Amino acid sequence: MNDSPLPPSDDDSDTEITTDEPAAVRKDSLVQLTFAEARVLGCLLEKEATTPDYYPLTLNQLFAACNQSSNREPVTDLGTDEVEEAMEGLRYKHLGILVRQAGARVAKNKHTIEQIFPYLTEGERSLICVLLLRGQQTVGELRQRTERMHHFSSIESTEATLQRLCDYDPHPLIRLIPAGGGRRVPTYVHLFCGEPDTSAFSAAIPPASSRSESVASPSWREEMEQQLNELREEIATLRSEVQSLKDELGA
């Protein structure tokens, strides 16, 4: 499904107009998302932080973000209808809205995580984002993979931020999976899709032989691979933006 055009606006300003406005919600239990909804929310958080000039996202941009091959585990092949349905689910759960910007012909998609979690810090949001996009990870992996969104000065500061999310009031947002049962180091998972099945993690043994090795600074090869992935992501975003402009112009 392509982005739906909107009637032109008489307002020439850059004012953002929401087409549906969620109220602030505080729930006694954590909102539960489908896998697709979690992927969409993670993409919106990521693009807001890393490519703010292209945020909010059109449906085509969101579709490309969900299915990009870099910084995603697992890599998916969601259809545009699945992405649109997932976004509708986020809107229903007060985690997203559809907006239009003055002069734009298509609606755009925006997360509203601050409506339910108004006190999340930048670091906390970046960790949630990467956990939504890449699943179970060690503290070292999380520190490295959030670098473009937030700089953690040390492993200890990363762990402290993760602990705040584990202790989040009124309900935890993530869970620490202790070492053991085939796991050589502790890992973290988000709880937006429910409690994790820890038995499923037993076969996933990190290659590091110790915790100190698992949280060490990435090698030059890993840094180069990360930079290459970032360039691929930027190219995919630019291609998506060009396609969106063509759609708006009716090309």
CATH code of the domain covering residue 142: 1.10.10.10
Residues 65 and 129 in one domain: no
Residues 93 and 130 in one domain: no
Per-residue confidence (pLDDT) for residue 220, from 0 to 100: 57
Which pLDDT tens digit goes with each residue over 140-174? 999 999 999 999 999 999 999 999 999 999 999 99
Per-residue confidence (pLDDT) for residue 228, from 0 to 100: 74
- Residue 112 has a CB neighbour count (10 Å cut-off) of 22
Question: How far is it, in rounded angstroms, from Cα 188 to Cα 216?
Answer: 17
Residues 109 and 37 in one domain: yes
Q: Indicate the number of domains in the chain.
A: 2
Residues 107 and 169 in one domain: no
Per-residue confidence (pLDDT) for residue 227, from 0 to 100: 66
Longest alpha-carbon distance in the chain: 63
133 CB-near residues (< 8 Å, 6+ apart): 39, 42, 43, 46, 71, 72, 73
In a domain, 137, yes or no: yes
CA-closest candidate to residue 191, choices 27, 20, 63, 67 = 27
Of 20-24, 37-41, 59-63, 188-192, which gets the smallest average pLDDT?
20-24
Mean pLDDT on 17-22: 56
Per-residue confidence (pLDDT) for residue 27, from 0 to 100: 59
Per-residue confidence (pLDDT) for residue 250, from 0 to 100: 63
- Do 166 and 187 contact (CB within 8 A), yes or no? no
Residues 103 and 132 in one domain: no
Residues 88 and 160 in one domain: no
Which pLDDT tens digit goes with each residue over 212-230? 444 444 555 666 666 677 7
Residues 106 and 188 in one domain: no
Helices (H), 59-166: 59-67, 80-92, 113-116, 122-134, 139-145, 155-166
Residues 31 and 64 in one domain: yes
**Residues spanned by the domain of 178:** 122-217
CA-closest candidate to residue 130, choices 188, 199, 212 = 188
